[in-house]
Amino acid sequence: MSSTQSQQTIVVVGATGIQGSGVVRALLSDKYGGPWLVRALTQDPSSGKAQKLLSEYQTTDNRLSLVSGHVYDETSLRSAFMGAHGVFAMTSERYPGKVITEEEELKHEIDAGRNIISAAKECCIKHLVFSSLPDTVKASDGQFKRIHHMNNKHTIEQLARKELDGFTSLIPEDGVVQFCMPLPGNKMVQWTDPAHDMGAFSASVEKTKGKTYLALGPRITPEGMAKAFTRITGKPAVHSPISFEEFGHLSSALVGPAFKEDAIEMMQWAAIAPTDKTCYGAFELEAEQSSEELGLTASSFEDWLRRSGWTGP
């Protein structure tokens, strides 16, 4: 690979997921600079999801390639990162093929983050962009200490800032649309489209190392979501909140029993988070305007409905 190509190569961790695929799409478009060469990191390049990504997003000049790697295998990350200019990375509370039964096991996410940071440092990556989340222990003044999946990402962010010269964090809203969320119908919550917005922001932050950007769209209430859904799709919808316990039970089915209290505390804090702050009460409202210097505006819920064509489960 020539030095020019090396400067243009970006590795995308989690490329076949919602956020990762959005980053791949944005980097390969002509809208956000470049042109970038993109290495899509995947555990199995021959898998159906990886091949689908390649077929959907490959460019006429073949700027997309698949590369094998796993966030729990630092050696594979070093191999994937070698010679690249930048990396987009994210970690997950889910551990592929493993059911999380103990709170301590949720720290696997920090292990993944350390591997990413170490490989980036070893390979002299010029810019690591990380999908982070805020410190909810600090935001809630210590009231909620078990929202591990958010605090783990914040821990990784702090490690990266300490170890790497070129680092930017992007913070999306955590979770997906659920009209049954256990919140008051008039409680303002943040909205983002992780596939579209994280891609757009990631492809636009090359010259803004060291900063944090909130990839957050306009706030909306659960009742507002239901009304917007009906307005866009023509289908009736209502907000029918479930209990915190029910929400925790549904969420733990995706990760494991240890995630139940994590999910419950997240929604308990969301229900009472101060309305004069944003992103789970962790940032001042002015922080939402930080994206103006990038010339970007994150999607609204209605934007997402129109773009995705989603008409319900």
Per-residue CA distances from 110 to 68, 101, 117, 159, 297 (Å): 21, 17, 10, 10, 30
Q: Check residue 177 and give its pLDDT.
A: 43
Based on the domain organization, do 69 and 182 belong to the same domain?
Answer: no
- 3 domain-assigned: no
Look at residues 124, 149, 170 and tell me which one is the last residue of a structural domain.
170
What's the pLDDT tens digit per position in 83-102? Answer: 999 999 999 998 988 888 88
Q: Check residue 277 and give its pLDDT.
A: 87
Structural domain boundaries enclosing 192:
177-308
Q: What is the dihedral of CA 206, 211, 216, 217, to 10 degrees?
A: -70
Look at residues 108, 138, 170 and tell me which one is the last residue of a structural domain.
170
- 1 domain-assigned: no
Q: Check residue 34 and give its pLDDT.
A: 66
Based on the domain organization, do 161 and 12 belong to the same domain?
Answer: yes
- 2 domain-assigned: no
CA distance 71 to 112: 5
Based on the domain organization, do 223 and 109 belong to the same domain?
Answer: no
- 162 domain-assigned: yes
- 236 domain-assigned: yes
The residue ranges of the chain whose pLDDT is under 70 are 1-7, 32-34, 173-179, 206-209, 289-291, 313
Mean pLDDT over the full length of the chain: 87
Based on the domain organization, do 233 and 120 belong to the same domain?
Answer: no
What's the pLDDT tens digit per position in 39-71? Answer: 999 999 999 999 999 999 999 999 999 999 999
Look at residues 136, 170, 204 and tell me which one is the last residue of a structural domain.
170
pTM: 0.80
Based on the domain organization, do 158 and 17 belong to the same domain?
Answer: yes
Question: For residue 254, with 0-12 CB atoms within 10 Å meaning exposed, 13-18 middle and 19 or more buried, which class applies?
Answer: exposed
CATH code for the domain in which residue 86 is found: 3.40.50.720
Contacts 24+ apart (CB under 8 A), 275-279: 275/188, 277/139, 278/190, 278/214, 278/216, 278/219, 279/134, 279/171, 279/173, 279/190, 279/214, 279/216
- 313 domain-assigned: no
